[in-house]
């Protein structure tokens, strides 16, 4: 070996950084770097009888390592072959085992960890990792799948969880309606500073109370007994699961979805009045159609120009003042979450007492819905502002993962990828409302 080649091998040794592995040759190819490597194991015992084995030559094994300088790196491992000298031993020959790579592996151990870490911490795709490693999609995913499964099965993933959030989303848009729905369970536990480091705990097929209840049952009483708060959207199936499996937990209806029910009510009234007065759907130039967005804005955020325009359009297109009343009810509903806890509780009582008896059917229907969820709405003030917001944040990460992957066809792979991306390896800090700091709006 020339001095120049020796220096390259020494540099490659430092670059490889694996104990007990020596680089014997470095070759630049059209597709990347090719490193010849040898391990420094001099003695080995037979795995069956323990007798010191005798060297029986080497076998060339091809492995793909992490990329270097933006180019794929391939290792030619001169793997030792050993022979057991004991004539009574059933094992004649065997190959050495080394942390460099597992049996029959195509990727080095650190390449597998590097690829799995990339899916955990960065918004990347399996195909991009396969391109960087110079292997096929199936080769890199098979290795990642085994490593990811090992990490997700960590025994302490569910330790210390005292608050949960639940929501549904669509993971596949093929097949019969509803067949692509899944239920996501998210950790809402706060730290000492009141910050939620949201993380996905699991995804289960189906959107039903049974799916959520079965998952809680499978976790065991040791887990469910520690849950103090359970946030959810206004879906009775999840509420029933919480009632049955988490009887000691406080059920909290998400504030965002409560306000969303109010905004939907305003839009329903506007569309009905539009049809009753003009006989057609909203068109450009129609008074109510022109303020459809403004009606969704909080009164405290309207400028003087917007307020004047809103009044003018309502006077022109709302002869019976139904839209006006619906908008005022919506603002009252919003004010629940902008007031101090004491005033917020009073507003909840006022809303639930007045809405169901309103002659406008959309407002009355909203009032009946809120009445059914009164306890869960009031729990917002008893839990220092708990909501399902962390769950919605995790849903955004899940949607990003699905978009990067160009969709999924296999639920097992989908669940694994989502748990890697949103399982807490990247911190999503969500500061919950502290009612001690709220001022009257």
Alpha-carbon distance 428 to 422, whole Å?
9
Supply the pLDDT for residue 427: 53
> By the 8 A CB rule, do 388 and 257 touch?
yes
Residue 64 is encoded by which pair of tokens? 């793909």
Supply the pLDDT for residue 26: 79
pLDDT in tens, the chain (441 residues): 444 444 444 444 444 556 667 777 878 887 788 888 888 767 777 877 878 878 777 888 888 998 887 788 888 888 888 788 888 888 888 777 778 888 888 999 999 999 999 998 888 999 999 999 999 999 999 999 999 999 888 767 888 899 999 999 999 888 787 788 999 999 999 988 888 889 999 999 999 999 999 999 999 999 999 999 999 999 999 999 999 999 999 999 999 999 999 999 999 999 999 999 999 999 999 999 999 999 999 999 999 999 999 999 999 999 999 999 999 999 999 999 999 999 999 999 999 999 999 999 999 999 999 999 999 999 999 998 899 999 999 999 999 999 999 889 899 999 999 999 998 766 555 555 444 343 333
Cβ neighbors of 37 (< 8 A, separation 6 or more) are 16, 21, 22, 23, 24, 75, 76, 77, 78, 100
| pTM of the entire predicted model | 0.82
Give which of 383, 436, 387, 421 is closest to 188, Cα–Cα: 387
Give which of 178, 220, 231, 268 is closest to 379, Cα–Cα: 231
Phi, psi torsion values for 328, nearest 5 degrees: -65, -40
Give which of 417, 398, 400, 402 is closest to 147, Cα–Cα: 417
pLDDT in tens, 376-397: 999 999 998 899 999 999 999 9
> By the 8 A CB rule, do 64 and 111 touch?
yes
Supply the pLDDT for residue 19: 61
Give the DSSP H/E element, type plus range, for residue 369. helix 361-372
Cβ neighbors of 374 (< 8 A, separation 6 or more) are 348, 352
Give which of 187, 186, 163 is closest to 246, Cα–Cα: 163
Strand partners, 77: 37, 61
| Residue 23, SS3 per DSSP | strand
Supply the pLDDT for residue 438: 38
Give which of 441, 408, 20 is closest to 182, Cα–Cα: 408
Q: 430: left (phi > 0), else alpha (psi -120 to 50), else beta?
A: beta
Alpha-carbon distance 130 to 248, whole Å?
48
Beta strands (DSSP E) in 29-85 are: 33-39, 54-68, 71-83
Residue 210 is encoded by which pair of tokens? 């049974």
Supply the pLDDT for residue 49: 82
Supply the pLDDT for residue 428: 52
Supply the pLDDT for residue 425: 66
């Amino acid at each position: 070996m020339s001095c120049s080649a020796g220096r390259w091998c020494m540099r490659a040794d430092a670059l490889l950084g694996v104990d007990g592995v020596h680089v014997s040759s470095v070759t630049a190819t059209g597709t990347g770097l090719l490193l010849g490597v040898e391990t420094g194991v001099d003695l080995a015992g037979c795995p069956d009888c323990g007798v010191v084995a005798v060297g029986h030559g080497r076998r060339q094994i091809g492995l793909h390592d992490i990329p270097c300088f933006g180019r794929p790196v391939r290792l030619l491992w001169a793997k030792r072959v050993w022979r057991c000298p004991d004539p009574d031993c059933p094992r004649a020959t065997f190959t050495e085992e080394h942390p460099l790579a597992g049996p029959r592996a195509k990727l080095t151990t650190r390449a597998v960890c590097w690829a799995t870490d990339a899916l955990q911490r960065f918004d990347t795709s399996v195909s991009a990792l396969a391109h960087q490693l110079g292997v096929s999609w199936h080769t890199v995913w098979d290795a990642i799948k085994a490593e990811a499964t090992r990490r997700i099965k960590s025994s302490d993933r569910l330790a210390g969880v005292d608050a949960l959030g639940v929501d549904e989303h669509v993971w596949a848009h093929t097949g019969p309606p509803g067949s692509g729905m899944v239920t996501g369970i998210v950790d809402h536990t706060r730290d000492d500073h009141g910050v939620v480091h949201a993380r996905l705990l699991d995804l289960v097929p189906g959107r039903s109370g049974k799916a959520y209840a079965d998952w809680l049952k499978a976790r065991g009483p040791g887990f469910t007994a520690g849950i103090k708060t359970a946030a959810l959207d206004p879906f009775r199936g999840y509420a029933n699961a919480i009632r049955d499996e988490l009887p000691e937990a406080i059920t909290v209806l998400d504030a965002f979805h409560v306000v969303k029910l109010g905004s939907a009510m305003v839009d329903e009234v506007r569309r009905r009045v539009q049809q009753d007065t003009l006989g057609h759907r909203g068109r450009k130039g129609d008074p109510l159609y022109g303020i459809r967005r403004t009606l969704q804005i909080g009164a405290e955020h309207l400028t003087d120009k917007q307020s004047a325009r809103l009044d003018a359009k309502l006077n022109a297109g709302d002869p019976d003042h139904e839209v006006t009343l619906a908008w005022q009810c919506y603002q009252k509903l919003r004010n629940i979450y902008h007031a101090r806890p004491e005033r917020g509780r009073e507003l909840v009582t006022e809303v639930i007492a007045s809405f169901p008896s309103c002659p406008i059917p959309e407002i009355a229907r909203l009032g009946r819905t809120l009445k059914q969820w009164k306890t869960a709405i009031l729990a917002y003030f008893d839990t220092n502002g708990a909501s399902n917001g962390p769950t919605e944040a995790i849903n955004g990460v899940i949607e990003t993962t699905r978009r990067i992957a160009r969709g999924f066809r296999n639920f097992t792979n989908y669940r694994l990828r989502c748990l890697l991306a949103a399982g807490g390896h990247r911190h999503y800090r969500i500061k919950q409302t502290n009612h001690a700091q709220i001022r009257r709006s």
